[in-house]
Each structure stands twice: as C-alpha cells, then as structure tokens.
Amino acid sequence: MSDPFSSARVLVLGGTAEARALAAALADAGATFTSSLAGRVTRPRLPVGQVRMGGFGGVDGLAAWCAGEGVTHLVDATHPFATTMTAHAVAAGEKAGVPVLRLARPGWGEHPHAGSWHWVEDIEQARRTAEGLGEAPFVTTGRQTLDRFADWAGRRVLVRVVEPLGEDAPVGWTVLEDRGPHRLEDELAVMREHGVDVLLTKDSGGAYTAAKLEAAHELGIPVVVVARPSIPSGAREVTTVEDVLAWLRTS
C-alpha cells in the first residue's frame, strides 16, 4: 500500500502554535511541505522544515504559487482572527484546484467561566462595553486593533503586545511587550500592579494566553471577549493536527 504522504506537497499557512505542531508532524510523516509566515513578527517562532516568509500578493498570487510549486494540499493554520488570509486561502484553493482545510484551535466558549464574560461581536463593541465596566482596562486584543482605542488617550490603560508599537503610546498608557505562554501567577501580579479593573481580549483559544482569564476570575475583574468571526461559506475546519493528518491520508 502506497504511503499517502510520499506524494503530498503541502503548503501550511502558519504563524501559530498549531501550525508549528503540524509542521513537526508532517516532518515525522515524511511529507514534503512548506510553512508560510506573513512576516509581521520580527522574531517569529519558526517551525521545522522549509519556511517561506512574506505575502503572496492576494488570491491570484497564492493560487499561482500553489500551481507553480505543485501543491496538492493547502492547510490554513493562521490565527483564528486572520479572516482575510482564510478567505484568500479558500478562494486560491478553488482557483488552483487544490483542496483546502482550516486548522484552528478550539475557542474559549466552553471555558468554565465563559458564561460570566461579556461577549461582543467586534472591537468597537468591546471598547464601548469596557467603558461601562471599569476605568483601568487591560487591552490584549492585538497591536493592529489599538487604533480603535485612540480616544482613550489620557486614561490609565495597560496594553500587551508581541511587537513594538512603532510609535509613542498615548499619554496614560503602559505598554508591555511580551508573548505567551503566560503563567497564572504572572498574570495575577500584572493585574494587581497596574490596578486593572476590566480585561479585553479576543476568543483566540488555546492555552498560551488563557491564564489571564483565570487571573481575572480570581480577582473579580470583568472580562470582555470579542467572538470569533465566521469562516467562509463552504470552508472545512478541524481543531487538531491529527484531524489534518487524517484528511491528508484520505483526500
């Protein structure tokens, strides 16, 4: 019986812990694969195997790259909120005739404290909701969302980002540059030190940044969570590396 991985040429759109785990599993299986990183982080955690840095130039560029490299399977393992990249992956797969699978870690909807959180649809709703809950917000929604909080200049705001802002933070803001995984005791210390009274986050899921949720619960701090966006119609999504490997064996 032929090995299904020997003939596969997989493109993994990555940048997440799940993508790195998938790369390791593909390497162990002997598959030929390339991991693609957008290049937005200056010191990314690199997966094993061949890595491509930078964008493709939209749907047409991604489809052309897949065709030129003989890609047989495309796995979108980008961040759960990377909606543009997911849409491009689905469209490019259709254009190039390559099957596409979305790998995304489970969200926090089943978290023990999820029922007590304030769930909102977008960053604008998160900002408005947080304004009614506290005076010292802890913003962990990502560097690219911070322009939506511009009118919080002068307020006591704690922000955590992976990459430097690239410009001076507004007066009254404290910026922490750090990346997960975060420990519960560290999150408790940060929130106490800065007097945080409301936490803003996105439903990113996973364990890397989940400790802040437990810390907020222990301290009685309200949590505002931006719900995940929907994936494109017709897209198939799985939550584990094992699911991806099973798909590769049968598609």
Sheet with 50-53: strands ordered across: 50-53, 32-37, 9-13, 73-76, 100-103, 237-238
Q: What is the mean pLDDT of residues 242-251?
A: 94
Q: Do the first three CATH levels of 9-104+231-250 and 114-226 match, i.e. the same topology? A: yes
Q: What is the pLDDT of residues 204-229, one digit of tens each?
A: 998 888 999 999 999 999 999 999 99
- Whole-number pLDDT of residue 43: 75
* Res. 3: pLDDT tops 90: no
**65 sits in which H/E element:** helix 58-69
Residue 166: predicted pLDDT: 81
Angstrom distance (rounded) from CA 73 to CA 99: 5
- The residue-averaged pLDDT of 247-251 equals 91
The structural domains of the chain, with segments of one domain joined by +, span 9-104+231-250, 114-226
pLDDT digits (tens, 9 = 90+) for 155-210: 999 999 988 888 889 999 999 998 878 999 999 999 999 999 999 999 999 888 89
Q: What is the CATH number of domain 9-104+231-250?
A: 3.40.50.2000
User: For residue 1, what pLDDT is reported?
Assistant: 44
As a whole number, the mean pLDDT across the chain is: 93
Residue 179 pLDDT: 83
Answer whether residue 120 shows pLDDT above 60: yes
Q: What is the pLDDT of residues 23-66, one digit of tens each?
A: 999 999 999 999 999 876 667 789 999 999 999 999 999 999 99
Q: Go through 142-171 and write b for each residue having 16 or more CB atoms within 10 A of its CB, e for each that does not.
A: bbebbeebeebeeeebbbbbeeeeeeeebe
CATH number of 114-226: 3.40.50.10660
Q: Helix 184-193 to helix 211-219 angle, to the nearest 10 degrees?
A: 50
CA angle 241, 104, 205 (to 5 degrees): 115
Say yes or no to pLDDT of 2 above 60. Answer: no
Rounded CA Rg of the chain: 20
When pLDDT is averaged across residues 142-166 and rounded to a whole number, the result is: 91
Give the mean pLDDT of 3-24.
Answer: 91
